[in-house]
């Protein structure tokens, strides 16, 4: 196909170093849904259609990470595996999986010495194994998001961060929902920090993943310069359950800069695209100078852990509609677990955008 302009994809060449064995589901350890093949399928489909260029990320220093994540959390991520294996050499064969948490009424200001307690302090669920290569993979994934952002700051109309593990459930200081570093939040903050000369004063994050991006929302909840809009499965029945309701509209100076559109299981593309229209109109009204898209394709009818019914062809229309917003855009890969279809669906968004 003839491209109107090339799109750069920054591919996390180290993503497969994060390869969880099991996640907790209804009292049993089940094989992880978030597998390396997901990203491989997207890469293969991009290359098959010859959509732009694929390159590894540029390295960014830790200052880009501490713009979003707390130093003590980053230090934990960087050292967790070594701490785990130091407890027992046999742990090298086992993933770290949280089992105890600081829920309501507990203290979170003190980092305990006990390793399991530390894991609990910095996590939100038992569905997110931390493996020997998790930090290396997540760190390179953040570099992909920052590199795509850099390309857009340098004048590209759009760029794609193709990485795993995903990011939108990761908070300022916790992992969960298969996420460790919040790639979309890092991109948005980098656009603001480095985009002054380009006239970028306000950024919107549009989260089209099936799941509400609780981490992203919380990071920017009181910020007037970042609008977070999300279309997702109703948290009354869908992960992450405890955030993502329609009455969450931002706080303090950020009041009005958060929009949640929860939809019931079974939602089809007609209803979903009306929600997309609503979200994009709100982003236009906000006056965003640039857009970050949390691009999950777990809205697909065949997704094994989700409940919407979008079809592969619908993702072409999604890409077209995102492009019609007319903003410099960073696309950040998030969820999508119908592994054999993830490549076609994600790349349909990219092709629709072009």
| Angstrom distance (rounded) from CA 311 to CA 297 | 10
Q: Give the residues lining the site for ligand 6XA (CB under 6 A).
A: 23, 127, 166, 169, 177-178, 209, 211, 239, 296, 298, 305, 334-335
With beta carbons less than 8 A apart as the criterion, state whether 23 and 30 touch.
yes
Does 207 engage in binding with Zn ion (CB under 5 A)? no
> For 332, phi and psi rounded to 5 degrees?
-120, 120
Does 296 engage in binding with Zn ion (CB under 5 A)? yes
Does 210 engage in binding with Zn ion (CB under 5 A)? yes
Using the rule CB under 5 A, which residue among 34, 95, 298, 314 binds Zn ion? Answer: 298
Structure-token pair, residue 210: 């099936």
Could you confirm whether 169 is annotated as catalytic?
A: yes
> For 258, phi and psi rounded to 5 degrees?
-140, 130
Does 211 engage in binding with Zn ion (CB under 5 A)? yes
Please tell me whether residue 274 adopts helix, strand or coil conformation.
helix
**Interacting stretch for Zn ion, rule CB under 5 A, among 114-122, 198-206, 248-256, 330-338?**
330-338
Q: CA 319 from chain center: how many Å?
A: 17
Question: Which residue number places its CB atom closest to ligand 6XA?
Answer: 335
Smallest gap from residue 150 Cβ to Zn ion (A)? 26
Strand 53-55 with 28-31, pairing: unpaired
Q: For residue 281, how many other CB atoms are within 10 A of its CB?
A: 12
With beta carbons less than 8 A apart as the criterion, state whether 323 and 351 touch.
no
Q: DSSP string of 97-118?
A: -------TTS--SS--SSHHHH
Q: How many residues bind Zn ion (CB under 5 A)?
A: 6
Smallest gap from residue 184 Cβ to Zn ion (A)? 12
Say which of 15, 18, 169, 212 is annotated catalytic.
169
With beta carbons less than 8 A apart as the criterion, state whether 336 and 38 touch.
yes
Q: Which letter, b or e, does each residue of 110-135 get, where b requires 16 or more Cβ atoms within 10 Å of its Cβ? A: eeeeeeebbbbbbbbbbbbbbbbbbb
**Residue 239 touches which of Zn ion, ligand 6XA, none (Cβ within 5-8 Å per kind):** ligand 6XA
Smallest gap from residue 299 Cβ to Zn ion (A)? 9
Smallest gap from residue 305 Cβ to ligand 6XA (A)? 6
**Interacting stretch for Zn ion, rule CB under 5 A, among 11-19, 24-32, 82-90, 335-343?**
335-343
- Write each residue from 251 to 290 as x if it is in contact with Zn ion (CB under 5 A), else as -, in one continuous string: ----------------------------------------
- Binding residues (CB under 5 A) for Zn ion: these are 209-211, 296, 298, 335
Active site residues: 169
């Amino acid at each position: 196909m003839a491209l109107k302009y090339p799109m750069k994809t920054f591919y996390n060449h180290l993503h497969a170093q994060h390869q969880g064995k099991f996640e907790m589901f209804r009292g049993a350890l089940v094989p992880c849904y978030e597998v390396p093949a997901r990203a491989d399928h997207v890469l293969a489909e991009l290359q098959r259609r010859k959509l732009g260029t694929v390159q590894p990320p540029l390295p960014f220093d830790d200052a880009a990470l501490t713009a979003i994540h707390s130093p003590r959390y980053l230090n934990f991520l960087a050292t967790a595996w070594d701490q785990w294996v130091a407890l027992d050499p046999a742990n090298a064969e086992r993933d770290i999986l949280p089992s105890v948490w600081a829920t309501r009424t507990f203290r979170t200001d003190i980092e305990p010495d006990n390793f399991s307690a530390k894991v609990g302090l910095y996590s939100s669920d038992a569905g997110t194994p931390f493996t020997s290569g998790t930090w290396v993979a997540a760190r390179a994934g953040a570099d992909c998001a920052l590199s795509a952002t850099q390309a857009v700051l340098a004048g590209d109309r759009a760029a794609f961060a193709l990485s795993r593990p995903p990011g939108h459930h990761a908070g300022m200081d916790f992992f969960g929902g298969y996420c460790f570093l919040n790639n979309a939040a890092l991109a948005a903050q980098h656009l603001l920090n480095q985009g002054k000369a380009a006239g970028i004063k306000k950024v919107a994050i549009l989260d089209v993943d099936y799941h509400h991006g609780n981490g992203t929302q919380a990071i920017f909840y009181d910020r007037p310069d970042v609008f977070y809009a999300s279309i997702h499965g109703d948290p009354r029945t869908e992960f992450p359950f405890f955030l993502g309701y329609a009455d969450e509209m931002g706080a303090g100076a950020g009041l009005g800069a958060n929009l949640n559109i929860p939809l019931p299981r079974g939602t089809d593309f007609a209803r979903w695209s009306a929600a997309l229209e609503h979200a994009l109109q709100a982003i236009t009204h906000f006056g965003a100078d640039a857009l970050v898209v949390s691009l999950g394709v777990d809205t697909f009818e065949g997704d094994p852990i989700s409940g919407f019914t979008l079809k592969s062809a619908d993702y072409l229309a999604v890409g077209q509609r995102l492009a019609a917003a007319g903003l410099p855009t960073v696309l950040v890969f998030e969820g999508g677990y119908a592994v054999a279809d993830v490549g076609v669906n994600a790349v349909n968004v990219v092709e629709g955008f072009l």
